[in-house]
Structure formats: structure tokens, C-alpha cells
Structure 1
Amino acid sequence: MLLDCVEHETGPAPAWTVLWLHGLGADGHDFEPIVPELVRPHWPALRFVFPHAPVRPVTINGGMRMRAWYDITGMDFATRADAAGIEDSVRQGEALIAREAGRGVPASRLLLAGFSQGGAITLATGLRRREPLAGLVALSTYLPGGQAAAARREPAAVAQPVFFAHGEGDPVIPIQYGQASAQALEQAGFQVSWHRYPMAHQVCAQEIADLGDWLDRRLTG
């Protein structure tokens, strides 16, 4: 069963899709407001797809049930992510990518984006793509499995450019984990555009502007 999604199209018959995964405890509405701030008038019509993660208990939050792409079992970034949950979420993301292909938007015109937990799923999905996506956007996040996971990437996956951004004062995912993840991707052969900002676990106006510049090269280059 496909995940429920919020959708927003910037024009008729969109030829491109941005599939955007929210963070822990949020939902598909979380990044809707970013669309008018991000989109530029000369871009082709885009379909933004914001799926709602399943509701599940989250160990680190006392077992409270909330929308989450996977369970978080502790503070150690090497082992904190629930591997089975990541596998399920990657499959659910791939199902949405396949739906877009059925709607006329192939992988080569689909950008996969995510914030925090959603960014972790974005990177985990990207590593496994045998048919490269147009790009990966990883915001305030980390790569589950780190360097070992990056080294196991599909050979074709490195064709996907990566926009990776992080807050210097992030108390949820400290910046060193984001930076180490970006470096692991670079060492595995990915072209990574790394950005750091004076912010916490959030997004900021300069980040949106920089992401817009990066997307402009993908969409109009």
C-alpha cells in the first residue's frame, strides 16, 4: 500500500518531481511552506510529493507512537537506526518513485529530498539506486551505516549529485556526524555539495537560497 501524501504542483503536466521526506514526529505538511520560497519562475513545472511516515513507537522517546521512518534505539549514531525500519522505508520510498514513473516522471527527473530522519532514508535509498535519480538532498541528517554503507553503494549510484546541509549548532544530530557522512559519500565517488549554516536543527533562508541555486542547475542545466 502506498503511503498517503500531500501533493503540490507548480504548473500543469509537471515533468519533474521532488519527493520530500519529513523528520521524526512531523508529517507531510511540514515542508509544504518551503515550496513558494524555493521555486523560481523560470523552472519547469514540478510536482512536490510529501509523504506521511507510518506511525510507530520510538524507543528514544519512551516508546511514544509518532510518525517515524524508523525506530531510534539510542544515542550512538553507529547503531541507533533500526535497520528493519530503514529497509521498510526505503521500499516505501521506492514505491513512490515507481508511481512517479507511471505518471510520466522517470528517475532521471526525480529529486529525492529529506530532513533529519527523512534525510537518512534519502541517503540510504540513493546508495542502492541502480537507475540514478536526478539528485539527492540531505538536510540536517546523517548516513546510516556511515563509511561502510557508502562503500557498498551500487556503482551507478554515484551519478547522483548530493546537496548536503547542516546546522553548526545542531543539538539533535551534531554537525560532525553530517560532515563525516558527506565525506564518506565523497570517498565513495559521489559529487557532494556541502553547506554549513549558523543554525540549530532546522532550515534557514540562506540554505533555501543555496538549495535553489543547486536545483536550478539540475532543472535548467
Structure 2
Amino acid sequence: MEEERPPAAGSGGFVVWLHGLGDCGRANEVIANHFSAAAFSDARWAFPTAPTAPVTCNRGMRMPSWFDIHDTPITSKSVRDEEDVLRAVQIVHTMIDREIAAGKDPGDVFVFGLSQGGALSIASVLLYPKALGGGAVFSGFLPFDSSSSSSFAARVTDEAKKTPVLWIHGGADSLIPVQEGRDGVKFLRGLGMSCEFKEYDRLGHTLEPYELEHCERWASEIALGEGKHEHGRQGPGEKKGGRQGTATATGTGTGSKSKLFCGVFNLFSK
């Protein structure tokens, strides 16, 4: 399931990338090439693959899935088994624990994820007992109902609330509506967490290089201890500081920086 080398102590950071439904870790390895800043020059990346399991919204089809999803469009209410989510969280926490045991500082650990993987990334950050370097959600959602999440919120430690979060979502996302991103950010800020929200008006349910470029700048500032996420340039049509995106959900990631898409989202049954 996990496609990575054994942990090793060192000055570099550790980044976990969590793929979307139906995808696999190996197909996402090209993403590491988009993080060439000095702060990530020695970072070690892990690209685990989710267990294969039936997915309700896909008529029970078996595929790599971190947890079950019951219906589409996907919202926080599409996930109905909290234990299913917690089992996936434990997979991520075990990876992080191994790195820290090998000498990695928790502040040098980042958890990023796309779509279902983004949902798992935020759950993993919230439930880890220590403050991590950061977490990033690309076109994701909260894998629990935030309107009745008092029990989940109670599990978030004061240390975990110190972990900064970046949430990127497309306004043209028909699979996971942008409102899920807005609601997720509202929930995190309600916990007192630092959460930057980037909304791209015409971006659909896809991953574009400019999203990763923004994440690299954001994460680099954290890794370098600058702490402030001021990114200057603003392009035409950009919303909340982001460049305009286009929605083209076809194929999986390749080495090209002109287009990057990871996740087999066309598996979803309507």
C-alpha cells in the first residue's frame, strides 16, 4: 500500500501526498517536481496508495479508496462512517510517527492531499496530537458533518490547532462544490486555526500547476519561518489572490508543467 523508502533523520522536511479516489500513489510522484524551492530541496516525499475497497457512490465498485463515499456531488454528509475515516487517519499518523521517531521535527512535516485525499489530509492534521509544519487541501472536503461535529472538534488538541492550513478550491467544481471548501475553512477558523483559502473562479475538479506553485510558496514561507503568507502578484480574474484556472478533468499526472491532473474522478457514477 505505501510506496516510499524507510525513514531517515536529516534536516530536510517530510511531505505526505494523499491521492484522490481511484488513483494510486505512484501516479502522483511527479508532483514532487513542482516543489523545487530551497526549503524543499532535501525533503523526502511519501505517496501512499489507499486500500482497495468498494465505494457506495460508484455502485459498490472496488477501487483504491481511503474511506467510503455514499453520494455525489460530494459533501461532508457523503461520509457516514467515522470509524472508516479514523482507520485512514491512522495510516497517515503511522507514517508521521515513524518519521518523528527517526529524528524528524514535527514542524518539518507537511500533509497535502487532493479531493478524497484532501479530506484525509485535513482529518489527519486535525487529529494529530502535535503541531505539524502544515496541511494543504486541494478540492477537498471535511470528511465529517461540520454542522454536528462537536465530538470531532473536541478531539483536536491545542497543539494541532497551531498547524497552518492552505485550502484551494475551484468555483466551477461540480463534483465537490466550492461551498464545501468555504465551510471547511469556516470550521477550521472557528477552532482558532490559521487557514488560507484560495478560490479560483473557473477551476473545476482538477489539479493545475499554478495551484502547486502557490502551495510551494506558502509552504516555503512556513519552512523558512517567515510565517506570513503574502504572495504579491495578482493575475486577471483572480479571486482572493489566485490566478484564474480552467477545468479539464482528463487523464492522470505527467511530467508536463503545463497541465497536471491526478485522480480518476470520471469513475464517479451520476
Q: SS of 2:220's equivalent?
A: helix
What is the distance in 1 between the residues matched to 2:119 and 2:196? 16
The answer to whether 1:195 aligns with 2:198 is yes
Q: Counterpart in 1 of 2:88?
A: 89
- Give the TM-score, by structure 2 length: 0.74
Identity of aligned residues (%): 29
What's the offset of the Cα at 1:183?
Answer: 1.2
Higher Rg:
2
CA shift in 2, pair 1:42/1:214, >3 Å:
closer
Deviation at 1:125, TM superposition (A): 1.6
In the TM superposition, residue 57 of structure 1 has moved relative to its aligned partner by 0.4
Matches within 5 A, 1:150-161: 151-152=153-154, 153-161=156-164
Q: What is the letter of the counterpart of residue 208 of structure 1?
A: L
Paired residues in the alignment total 217
- In terms of fraction of residues, the more strand-rich structure is 1
Query: What is residue 40 of structure 1 aligned with on the other side?
Result: 37
- Aligned-partner residue type, residue 215 of structure 1: A
The one-character-per-residue Cα deviations of 1:173-215 (angstroms, maximum 9, x if unpaired) are 0101111111111111110011012311111122122111101
Match of 1:5 among 3, 6, 17: 3
SS in 1 for 2:122: helix
Amino acid at match of 2:205: H
Q: Which runs of 5+ in 1 are unaligned?
A: none
Matched, 1:72 2:69: yes
Helix, strand or coil for the counterpart of 1:155? coil
Amino acid at match of 1:211: C
The residue that corresponds to 1:181 in the other structure is: 184
The equivalent residue for 1:51 is: 48
CA shift for structure 1 position 85: 1.5
8 Å CA contact 2:39, 2:220 repeated in 1 = no
Q: Output the CA distance in 1 between the equivalents of 2:104 and 2:43.
A: 10
Q: Which moved more, 1:71-80 or 1:25-34?
A: 71-80
Task: Give the structure, 1 or 2, with the largest relative contact order (CA under 8 Å, sep 6 or more).
Answer: 2
**Distance in 2 of aligned mates of 1:39 and 1:15:** 13
Q: TM-score, normalised by structure 1?
A: 0.90
| Residue type of the alignment partner of 1:102 | A
Change (3 A) 1:6 1:167: farther
